[in-house]
Structure 1
């Protein structure tokens, strides 16, 4: 049997336990306070005993590619070198930290953020192929704005090389590993997905792009552990005929393990950036916040459009199930076919579910590590309580997520949860026992 507190090996790196903070927006940007923001956000997680911390999606290019405001770019080696203060802080607490590398492609802000388009009228979105007709229809209706720049074969190779260069910068700054954002409508998912990828060159096989990134990472960062998300587009809308099935996802996972990826994060997603990413309740408190109404209007183009997005958000909140560990069946199937660690995330909130999916009881294990993301907005030092056997306070209300489209930092906005976190802090619930060190 495997326990949450057991160490685990990822690509030759020993992680002290099997609990990880999944990638989530830190909203640090690249300004003069960016490193301080990241340290303030992530060091408490390591201090609380979490074995592995993923710094959230960080953009590999010097322009475009951001799927949300205030994402951090890691194309500049001088900036990444300053992040040694972050990696050192995590290491001081015995933790490990991976950098997630990303690019938004057609999900970039110039597609959906009206205010961003006004400030960057020249911006185009990197595209795998001509956008699908569904997106072109939304463009003609004025709901989004498409200005795709379809990548040539040489440009794809150059982009893979850029992922590798950024991995090299990360290794030099003390990061323990690299994680690729290959889901949630990222550019890498767009390469893998038949919904987006209609190419007629070697990259018509989207795994070829991930193979090129793998080789570039090895060239620039040596044997640093490399993990990636593996999407299955099983919750795509019915009008999307071409998408990745779970069988497709399993085949991709097997190929990636064979290529040399050191860990896999299987996730069941949509072809779009929707509530399949953050399943749970409709975030009524966030949408109703009086101090954000003007910001929402600026983001979406008008108050009327903001209300339309909110209505769509409400519909989707009803559509997606929120069973804890909703990726578990996919993870278990992948785990039975590959010989590298499988990481499970998606709706986990209790210690019992963590133990169950690790196979601590009688259930077949679904994963080798288990992760949470949004609960750390409410409890930055959540690890101490989870490792001691308690449950997360997070109610999956999603009120932390919607304000991030305006550039707001991720934080819990549910008063009852905030009050309870304060009570637990005053009682010393987030202090680690000496036996946990």
Structure 2
């Protein structure tokens, strides 16, 4: 029987237990206070016992590629060296630390954020292929703005090397693992997906890009363990016929196991950046908040368009309702097919469910949004076999991030419960 408190070997690194803080948007940027802001976000998870703490998606190039405001860039070795203060701090608690590397490609702010496009009129999206017809239609309607630069074969190799260089800088700064943002419509996902990838060179096989990234990471960062998310586009709308099936995702994972990836994170979602990746209730409080109205208007190109986005958000919330542990079946299929650890995240909230998943569907369990409400959540989950996260999956934490606001819980009932638990000493590790 696998227990949550059991250590796990990933590559040459031993993770002290099987609970991890999954990557989230920290919105820390690259300013003078960036390291302190990251410490504020990540230290509570380490201090409360998480076996692995994953820093959220960080961009491997010096311009473009950010999927949301305030994302941190890790192209500059001088800046990344300052992050050694973060890894040193987290290591004091005995945890392991990962950094997630990302480039948004067609999902970048230069596509969807109207204000950012106005400020950067010459910035083009990096694209695997010409954008699909459905996305071009949204461009013609004015909701998105595409001026893509389709990568040449040589430029794909350059991009893979940028991932490798960023991994090398991170390893030098003390990060224990490298985590690739392989899903949620980032550029790695775009290489893997037949919806996006219509190339006629070697990278028409999207796994080839991940193979080249693996080699680049090994060249720059040595044997630092490497893991990636792998998408199945099973939540895509029926009109999208070219997409990744569950069988496709399992086969991709099998190939990456053979390539030398040290762990895999299978996830299901849509081909679009929508609520299939943050399933739950419509975030009515976030959309009503007057403090964010101007930010929404700037992001989406006016109040009317922001209102239409909110309407689409409401429809998606009904279409992609919350489903506990929605990636478990996919993870189970992958675990049966590979020899490396499989990590499961997405809709996991209760310790009893975690105990059932471990050793069956996966080898390690991660949570993301619940950490916005409970930064010290591991203390409760590790100590109490009946504990549940108080996160209501309402997504009021996520929507304001399009304005650059930090990811924090904004739901009064949830915050009241957190306060009650704190008063009761539930987050005291010695209690």
TM-score under structure 2 normalisation? Answer: 0.99
What is the aligned partner in structure 2 of residue 85 from structure 1? 85
- Aligned counterparts of 1:366 and 1:256: Cα–Cα separation in 2: 18
Aligned residue runs from structure 1 range 41-190, under 5 A:
41-190=41-190
CA contact (8 A) 1:348 1:372 kept: yes
Match for residue 391 of structure 1 among 375, 385, 388: 388
Q: Does 1:197 align with 2:212?
A: no
- Aligned counterparts of 2:51 and 2:208: Cα–Cα separation in 1: 32
Structure 2: gaps of 5 or more residues? none
- Aligned counterparts of 1:292 and 1:328: Cα–Cα separation in 2: 35
CA contact (8 A) 1:55 1:100 kept: yes
- Aligned counterparts of 1:431 and 1:234: Cα–Cα separation in 2: 40
CA contact (8 A) 1:28 1:71 kept: yes
Structure 1: gaps of 5 or more residues? 360-364
Query: 1:421: Cα distance to partner?
Result: 1.2
Q: Does 1:381 align with 2:357?
A: no
Give SS of 1:336's match: helix
Give SS of 1:385's match: helix
Residue deviations 1:228-269 (CA, integer Å, cap 9, x gap):
001111111111110011111111000000000000000011
Give SS of 2:337's match: coil
- Aligned counterparts of 2:260 and 2:15: Cα–Cα separation in 1: 19
Query: 1:427: Cα distance to partner?
Result: 2.4
Give SS of 2:234's match: coil
Residue deviations 1:35-89 (CA, integer Å, cap 9, x gap):
0000010011000000001100000000000000000000000000000011011
What is the aligned partner in structure 2 of residue 402 from structure 1? 399
What is the aligned partner in structure 1 of residue 423 from structure 2? 426
What is the aligned partner in structure 2 of residue 259 from structure 1? 259
- Aligned counterparts of 1:147 and 1:309: Cα–Cα separation in 2: 21
Query: 1:353: Cα distance to partner?
Result: 1.1
Query: 1:426: Cα distance to partner?
Result: 2.3
Query: 1:95: Cα distance to partner?
Result: 0.3
- Aligned counterparts of 2:88 and 2:353: Cα–Cα separation in 1: 31
CA contact (8 A) 1:26 1:71 kept: yes
Give SS of 1:314's match: helix
CA contact (8 A) 2:47 2:90 kept: yes
Query: 1:142: Cα distance to partner?
Result: 1.0
Q: Does 1:416 align with 2:421?
A: no
- Aligned counterparts of 2:403 and 2:262: Cα–Cα separation in 1: 35
Query: 1:323: Cα distance to partner?
Result: 1.8
Residue deviations 1:122-141 (CA, integer Å, cap 9, x gap):
11000000111111111111
CA contact (8 A) 1:394 1:417 kept: yes
- Aligned counterparts of 1:141 and 1:299: Cα–Cα separation in 2: 16
Give SS of 2:390's match: coil
- Aligned counterparts of 1:381 and 1:78: Cα–Cα separation in 2: 31
CA contact (8 A) 2:281 2:321 kept: no
Query: 1:15: Cα distance to partner?
Result: 0.4
Give SS of 2:215's match: helix
CA contact (8 A) 1:324 1:353 kept: no
Give SS of 1:166's match: helix
- Aligned counterparts of 1:137 and 1:27: Cα–Cα separation in 2: 30
Of 422-431 and 290-299, deviating more is 422-431
What is the aligned partner in structure 2 of residue 362 from structure 1? none
User: RMSD in angstroms over aligned alpha carbons?
Assistant: 0.8
Query: 1:322: Cα distance to partner?
Result: 1.7
CA contact (8 A) 1:47 1:93 kept: yes
Give SS of 2:322's match: coil
- Aligned counterparts of 1:394 and 1:225: Cα–Cα separation in 2: 31
TM-score under structure 1 normalisation? Answer: 0.97
Query: 1:291: Cα distance to partner?
Result: 1.1
Q: Does 1:32 align with 2:29?
A: no
- Aligned counterparts of 2:395 and 2:111: Cα–Cα separation in 1: 23
Aligned residue runs from structure 1 range 298-309, under 5 A:
298-309=298-309
Match for residue 369 of structure 1 among 361, 364, 372: 364
- Aligned counterparts of 1:388 and 1:314: Cα–Cα separation in 2: 37
- Aligned counterparts of 1:9 and 1:323: Cα–Cα separation in 2: 29
What is the aligned partner in structure 1 of residue 356 from structure 2? 356
